[in-house]
Amino acid sequence: MKYFIAFVLVAGLCALAQAQEQSCQVDVQSACGQSANGGVANCNARYAAIGHLEHKMQDYIHLQLKKSYEYLLMATHFNSYQMNRPGFQKLYQGLSDRAFDDTIALIKQVTRRGGSVDFSKPHQQGVAQPPEVHLNELESLARALDNEKELTNGAIHVHTSATHGTTDNRIHDPEMAHYLQENFLSKQAASVRTLSGYANDLSKLVSVREPALSVYLFDEYLQKQ
């Protein structure tokens, strides 16, 4: 009789332990659900307003990549033997590399938050026309300044969407806003300030009767930056 009672107690403890183990599995299945491919559909890295911001971030990624390509064309133009402006080439090559690095960083941020980036879909503004890059020195600085303001406004647009929503988690995302503030807004403000200074300085230098020497010296200055 004693052995029977001991057996019942051991069996009861084993059944209780198994039920506790299954309750964890049930909780996971109940909370996350099962997806068609056997994974857990809702157990992902998506939270807060990533669903609201994902397409805005994708548009900004496309914009960064487009400007990287445009800056690269400008750098190639000034590196030709006809233009022979190594200072301007260095400036635009640096802006191209920075925009490309920012593109990679933004893709990593979106995927870290559980989103995805689809380059098979066209940009919201449609297929972009090839940019005009055969510009003189001052015109190129004006184009670069406009580009940097466009990139700045793009970051502000996403940042505003992340911060000016309600406390509803679906349209409010402090983490994404902090990321953009730390990695883009301050950097873009500095870039706009630098290029606006370059454009104003060069506009004064080329106002003389023979500006060739002034432009040459300005290009020498850019090489040293």
Tokens 């000016």 sit on residue: 164
Asked, for residue 177, whether it belongs to a domain, the answer is yes
Asked if residue 76 and residue 28 are part of one domain, the reply reads: no
Asked if residue 88 and residue 38 are part of one domain, the reply reads: no
Asked if residue 134 and residue 191 are part of one domain, the reply reads: yes
Split into its structural domains, the chain has a count of 2
Residue 18 annotated as part of some ligand binding site? no
- The sign of the CA dihedral 100, 104, 105, 109 is positive
Asked, for residue 7, whether it belongs to a domain, the answer is no
Taking CA atoms, 93 is separated from 74, 89, 98, 150, in Å, by 8, 6, 9, 18
Asked if residue 141 and residue 218 are part of one domain, the reply reads: yes
Asked if residue 172 and residue 137 are part of one domain, the reply reads: yes
Asked if residue 210 and residue 102 are part of one domain, the reply reads: yes
DSSP state of 207: T
The pLDDT of residue 14 is 60
Tokens describing residue 159 = 């940042």
Asked, for residue 6, whether it belongs to a domain, the answer is no
Residue 188 annotated as part of some ligand binding site? yes
Q: Please give the Cα distance from 14 to 170 (Å, whole number).
A: 44
Asked if residue 24 and residue 62 are part of one domain, the reply reads: no
Q: What is the DSSP string of 118-173?
A: -TTSPPTT-SPPPP-----HHHHHHHHHHHHHHHHHHHHHHHHHHHSS-S-TTT--
Asked if residue 74 and residue 33 are part of one domain, the reply reads: no
Asked, for residue 74, whether it belongs to a domain, the answer is yes
pTM of the model as a whole: 0.80
Asked if residue 77 and residue 36 are part of one domain, the reply reads: no
Burial of residue 78 (number of CB atoms within 10 Å: 0-12, 13-18, 19+): buried
Q: For every one of its 225 residues, what pLDDT tens digit does the chain have, with 9 covering 90 and above? A: 655 555 555 556 565 555 555 555 555 566 665 555 555 667 888 888 888 899 999 999 999 999 999 999 999 999 999 999 999 999 999 999 999 999 999 999 999 999 989 888 665 555 556 778 889 999 999 999 999 999 999 999 999 999 876 555 567 889 999 999 999 999 999 999 999 999 999 999 999 889 999 999 999 999 999
Type of residue found at 158 = V
CATH number of the domain enclosing 213: 1.20.1260.10
Domain extent for 27: 14-43
* Cα angle, residue 106 at apex, residues 123 and 125 outer, rounded to 5°: 15
Q: Strand, helix or coil at 34?
A: strand
Asked if residue 84 and residue 37 are part of one domain, the reply reads: no
Asked, for residue 20, whether it belongs to a domain, the answer is yes
Q: What is the DSSP string of 91-119?
A: HHHHHHHHHHHHHHHHHHHHHHTT----T
